[in-house]
Structure 1
Amino acid sequence: MSFEVVCFDCDSTLSRVEGIDELARRGGLFEEVAALTNAAMNGELALEAVYGHRLDLIKPDKAAIDWLADLYIAEMVEGVAETVKTLLDNGKQIHIISGGLRQAILPLAALLGIAEDHVHAVDVLFDDAGHYVDFARQSPLAVSGGKARVCRRLRMHHASLVMIGDGKTDLEAKQAGAYMIGFGGVVARALVQEQADVFVADSSLTAILPHVL
């Protein structure tokens, strides 16, 4: 199959880390926060039940976000740069659709050649001193069903769209008529294996290329 638009999740898909969990680890809150993340990604809790709670616990300041941006790049999944370059060379429009923190994802996107306005994620709000104030609570990506909403918007302008990711929120893209490829190279979730249109267990992201070109 061939798709006009190729959308990637970020955490555990483009990068090996779960960003909010890593911010929690940095602040000594890893076990508490990671349990909430996992429950949401496995479909046991609604995303909105954990999203604000996790950030209220961590309160990531601007320095923490910059640290996470570097970590995303350092922990890039095998084959990401090659995969994105191949897709761009084939005229595909690439988007990142993530429930992660947008300012931390933008440097990774820039490195890969993905346009800033093609990065859909949740903005963090800081005060003038760089301290955490809040997150963009109106963002569709901080609640369940948000990835479907973003995919619906994109599909208004494009006939065919594929979403690649590891979690329950990525499966939501199917509600918007998107094709969904489950990527298990970092975390293989039973729910995604069962419900994705295709599931790729390879550790390299290049394994998705035959399914999208």
Structure 2
Amino acid sequence: MGGTVEFKEALRTRLGVMHPSRQAVDKFLADHPHRVTKGIPELVALLKARGQEVFLVSGGFRQIIHPLAESLGIPLSHVFANSILFDHDGRYAGFDESEFTCRSGGKPAAIRHIKEKYGYEEVVMVGDGATDAEARTEGAASLFIGYGGVVVRPGVAAKADWYIMDIQQMIDVLKAAPPANAQ
């Protein structure tokens, strides 16, 4: 997390130590249901009502993120995350090294891909971590909104175009503004 090891190598090492099975991932999901930050369902619904697309770009794993995306009504095609690979018996077999987010600089690359694939000129990135902030500094996102409602990270706040502590702040601004070239 400190940036001293290339992200893909750190991911390879961590998963190699853990060797998560399909059964262990399923048990994790059953034992740890998603806790959605207050306001996120309303924000996603509001963005969709305005004709704006919502994507999830995460260094986490599709196996964990897909149920969350489905609960929020976000198409799985709009999820960019890592994939754990399993063999036919459900044993750990590596991870998909072609995913944008398995490498350093992956989130900006995913956003550039989204812009190209969907023809967007502007994308707003919202996040709470350093890799989220990279999306703005590397020129992929037009705007980076930092979120400190769970964990305040001063370095992220310093790189944010707008730093919020409550999702309701975004909801209020969106409700007050007319949709801009909704796509």
- CA gap of 1:145–1:129, structure 2 versus 1, over 3 A, is same
Deviation at 1:186, TM superposition (A): 1.1
- CA gap of 1:72–1:120, structure 2 versus 1, over 3 A, is farther
Structure 1 residue aligned with 2:145: 181
TM-score, length-normalised on structure 2?
A: 0.84
Deviation at 1:211, TM superposition (A): 5.2
- CA gap of 1:177–1:57, structure 2 versus 1, over 3 A, is same
- Runs of 4+ that moved beyond 4 A: 43-46, 70-73, 210-213
Structure 2 counterpart of 1:191, one-letter code: G
Structure 2 SS opposite 1:121:
strand
Q: 2:72 aligns with which of 103, 112, 126?
A: 112
Structure 2 residue aligned with 1:23: none
Structure 2 residue aligned with 1:128: 88
Structure 2 residue aligned with 1:154: 114
Query: Is the Cα–Cα contact under 8 Å of residues 181 and 196 in structure 1 kept in the other structure?
Result: yes
1:167 aligns with 2:129: yes
> What is the correspondence of 1:36-115 to structure 2 with a 5 Å cutoff?
39-40=1-2, 43=3, 45-70=5-30, 73-115=33-75
Distance 1:114 1:135 in 2: 23
Query: Is the Cα–Cα contact under 8 Å of residues 80 and 99 in structure 2 kept in the other structure?
Result: no
Structure 1 residue aligned with 2:154: 190
* Larger RCO, structures 1/2 (Cα 8 Å, 6+ apart): 1
Distance 1:171 1:211 in 2: 21
Aligned residues between the structures: 171
Deviation at 1:121, TM superposition (A): 0.5
Any idea what the Cα deviations from partners look like across 1:174-206, whole Å, max 9, x if unmatched?
Answer: 11341111111111111101111111122xx33
Bigger Rg, structure 1 or 2: 2
Query: Is the Cα–Cα contact under 8 Å of residues 124 and 145 in structure 2 kept in the other structure?
Result: yes
- CA gap of 1:71–1:161, structure 2 versus 1, over 3 A, is farther
Deviation at 1:47, TM superposition (A): 2.4
1:201 aligns with 2:165: yes
Q: Give the gaps of 5 or more residues in structure 1.
A: 1-38
- CA gap of 1:71–1:85, structure 2 versus 1, over 3 A, is farther
What percent of counterpart residues are identical?
Answer: 34
Measured on the aligned residues, the alpha-carbon RMSD in Å equals 2.0
Deviation at 1:45, TM superposition (A): 4.9
Query: Is the Cα–Cα contact under 8 Å of residues 95 and 114 in structure 1 kept in the other structure?
Result: yes
Deviation at 1:73, TM superposition (A): 4.3
Structure 2 SS opposite 1:94:
coil
Deviation at 1:46, TM superposition (A): 4.2
Q: Give the gaps of 5 or more residues in structure 2.
A: 178-183
Deviation at 1:128, TM superposition (A): 1.2
